Amino acid sequence: MPSNIVLVTGVGSELGGRLLARLGNDSRLERVIGVDTTPPGRAVLHRMGRAEFVRADIRNPLIAKVIGSAKVDTVVHAATTAHPAGPGRRSVLKEINVIGTMRLLAACQRSPLVRKLVIKSTAAVYGAGARSPAVFTEDSELIPMSSSGYAKDAVEMEGYVRGLARRRPDITVTTARFINLIGPEIDTVLGRYFALPVVPTVLGYDARMQLLHSADALAVLEHATIEDKPGVFNVGSDGVLTLSQAIRRAGRLELPVPRGAVPSVGRVLHGARVVDFSADQVRLLNFGRVVDTTRLKTVFGYTPKWTTRDAFDDYVRGRGLRPVVDGHRLAGLAGKVALAAATGQATSR
C-alpha cells in the first residue's frame, strides 16, 4: 500500500529538512508533517510545499497524540545522530537517540494506522578495529566502537526497532545504515575535519574511507518512504579513498601524531568548538570502515549516483576549499596541535 500521511522527525537538521521539502512537493502524498524542537532552515521553509511543521519533542509522550490525531500511516525517524558535527552535550543527544526513539516507537505500536517505519541508522553500529572484516555486510555483528558513544546509541535504537517489528509484524520496517555522509550542503563531522587547514591523523595509520553523498542519502530515505522496502540495508557509495588521499584532494596539510596524543589533540579541537573529535572518530580514522551495498542495489533497488571519490570532490568544490598556504591561521593552528600532541605523548609515557 502506498504511503498517504507521513510524519518525519528531525526536520531541523539539513537532511531531515530537505526530506520534508521533497515529500511536501510530492503529489502522491495527502499530508506531510515534520516535527522537531527547532524549525527547519529558512531555505526549507520557503520550498516545503504542502508540508507542515509542528514543534514537538519526540522525547515527550505527547508525540503519540500528534501521530494519532493526524492519522499518520508512515513514520520516518530521521532525528538520530551518530556523529555530531560539532561539540555538543552528550546527555541531550543520548536522550534524543535513545529515549526519543523509545517514545516514538511506543507511539507507533499503539497506533493501529501506522503501517510503515523508516529508520535512519548508521554503519557505525559495526564498529571499527584491527580485527574488523574488510567489508561489513548487513549480517555482520554489531559492535559499537565504545561503551558510551553515539554508535552504542544506534545499536540500542536498532534493538528497540527489532522489538517493535516482533510485536507489530504488520508494520513494514526499513532500516538504512548510512556510511559517513558528506556534501557541500550538509554539516558533518568529516566535513569539518577535512576543512581544517592542518588535519591531524594517527601516526602509522591510513584508513580506507567510504563516503555517501547527502543527495544519495536523501534519495534513499525518499524511496523508502514512498515505496515498501522492508529490511536492513547498508547505504554507501562505490569505491573508497584512503585518509591520506582525501586530505591531499582537499588541499589540506596532514599532521600525523602519535596515537597516545590524539585525545589531547581532540580536546584542543573540541575546546575551540571546531569539530567533535570523539573516541568513535579516532577509531574510524585508525581502521576505517567499508560496507557491502549489494542488498541496497539488488533488493532495495537503488544505486548511489555518486562514488566516494566524486562525492568527496563535490564537497571540496562546494565548500570552496583551496590548497592551504602559509599564514597566521595555519601557523597558529599547527602550533596548537603540535603542542597538544607533544603534551599528550609525554603524558602517555
The CA-CA-CA angle for residues 91, 97, 101, to 5°, reads 135
Segment 5-57, tens digit of pLDDT: 999 999 999 999 999 999 999 999 999 999 999 999 998 999 999 999 999 99
The structural domains of the chain, with segments of one domain joined by +, span 5-183+212-237, 242-342
Beta bridge partners, 213, equal 182
Query: What residues have CB less than 8 Å from 289, skipping those under 6 apart?
Result: 123, 124, 126, 128, 132, 136, 179, 208, 210
Could you report the per-residue pLDDT of 237-262, keeping only the tens digit for each? 999 999 999 999 999 999 898 877 77
Q: In angstroms, rounded to a whole number, what is the distance separating the alpha carbons of residues 303 and 292?
A: 12
Residue partners of 336: CB distance under 8 A and separation at least 6: 268, 272
pTM of the model: 0.88
What pLDDT score does 332 carry?
Answer: 64
Say if residue 268's pLDDT is above 70.
Answer: no
User: What is 5-183+212-237's CATH topology?
Assistant: Rossmann fold (3.40.50)
